[in-house]
Amino acid sequence: MRGEAVQWWQTIVLGVVEGLTEFLPVSSTGHLTITENLMHLKTDDLGVTAYTAIIQVGAIVAAIIYFWRDIVRIVVAFVTGLASAAGREQPAWRLSVAVVLGSIPIAVVGLAAKSVIESTLRSLWWVTAGLLLWSLVMVFAERVARQARKERDVTGKDGIVIGLVQCVALIPGVSRSGATISAGLLRGLDRVTATRMSFFLGIPALTAAGILEAFSARDDVASTVGWGPTALGAVVSFVVAYASIAWLLRYVSRHSIVVFAGYRVALGLLLAAGLVTGALSAT
């Protein structure tokens, strides 16, 4: 689709898909890739890849607004802990350290593997594999989860482990939230704490990715997608994501994430069938 702008109705649909799926453990990148494929957009085009990352910023802004008080608390705790030994005794300091340490791995791996992520991994075969295989991890995490530790118990080690697992979500279909929530559960955190950690780690990672793409691929976005549709997609994703965040936090307080695994498996099998029969093209 090089040289052709995304239609306005298409960017509205993609914004809704992004907002709905960014924080649910179903893979927003996977769903965007599927939707773009169905719209006959070239999913491995640099402009389309950048567009996908940039409209995520709308969802991240929604998360920043929703968790603003928590963000301020974490930042203040981190600064206070750096300045005094007493500050380092507080649970909020340990949480802030976990977020900082947990944000480093995906920044390193994401930059190192950027070319592969933007080309090879944009295939629907990778989306299919990510959906199916990580669903097994999600079910396993729920089955063995002790959920004995709350937010006040989060440590720097938790941040490092969850941050390392977050890197697996660079594979479309795995789901960043699915990876981080599963890792949190396997670390013994309760489901709500694991989900909140997923948000806290997602804010710096996705913001950085969106800003990087906006600058590094600005010419590709302008020539293939257009900045008008891109801005609209971000706005739509913001509105939908805000409602999605509130719903997810209420849901995980009472239910497991296994239902999402069931949906992922069904979608993965449907994709596999479409690819095998030729009804869908990989890119």
Q: Dump pLDDT digits (tens) for 12-43.
A: 999 999 999 999 999 998 999 899 889 888 77
pLDDT > 90 fraction of the chain, expressed in percent and rounded: 70
Residue 3 inside a domain? The answer is no
What's the total number of domains in the chain?
1
Quote the pLDDT of residue 243: 96
Token representation of residue 219: 């010419």
Residue 1 inside a domain? The answer is no
Give the integer Cα–Cα distance in Å for 168 and 174. 7
Summarised one tens digit per residue, pLDDT across range 87-142 is 999 999 999 999 999 999 999 998 888 888 877 888 899 999 999 999 999 999 99
- Mean pLDDT, range 68-72, rounded to an integer: 96
Token representation of residue 165: 């697992």
pLDDT > 70 fraction of the chain, expressed in percent and rounded: 98
Measured CA to CA in angstroms, residue 154 lies from 77, 101, 252 at distances of 14, 12, 18
DSSP label at residue 3: T
Quote the pLDDT of residue 5: 63
Quote the pLDDT of residue 119: 78
- Mean pLDDT, range 239-254, rounded to an integer: 95
Quote the pLDDT of residue 2: 42
Quote the pLDDT of residue 50: 80
**In the predicted structure, residue 67 carries a pLDDT above the cut 70:** yes
Q: Please say whether the beta carbons of 28 and 34 come within 8 A.
A: no
Residue 282 inside a domain? The answer is no
Residue 52 inside a domain? The answer is yes
Please state which of the ranges 8-12, 45-49, 178-182 shows the lowest mean pLDDT.
Answer: 45-49
Residue 176 inside a domain? The answer is yes
Report helix, strand or coil for 42: coil
**In the predicted structure, residue 220 carries a pLDDT above the cut 80:** no
Q: What is the pTM of this model?
A: 0.89
Q: Which residue has the higher pLDDT, 207 or 243?
A: 243
- Mean pLDDT, range 143-165, rounded to an integer: 96
Residue 100 inside a domain? The answer is yes
Quote the pLDDT of residue 29: 87
**In the predicted structure, residue 192 carries a pLDDT above the cut 60:** yes
Measured CA to CA in angstroms, residue 253 lies from 165, 190, 197, 275 at distances of 23, 9, 14, 37
Residue 283 inside a domain? The answer is no
Residue 69 inside a domain? The answer is yes
What are residue 149's DSSP bridge partners?
A: 189
DSSP label at residue 146: -
> Which domain, by its residues, includes 270?
8-277
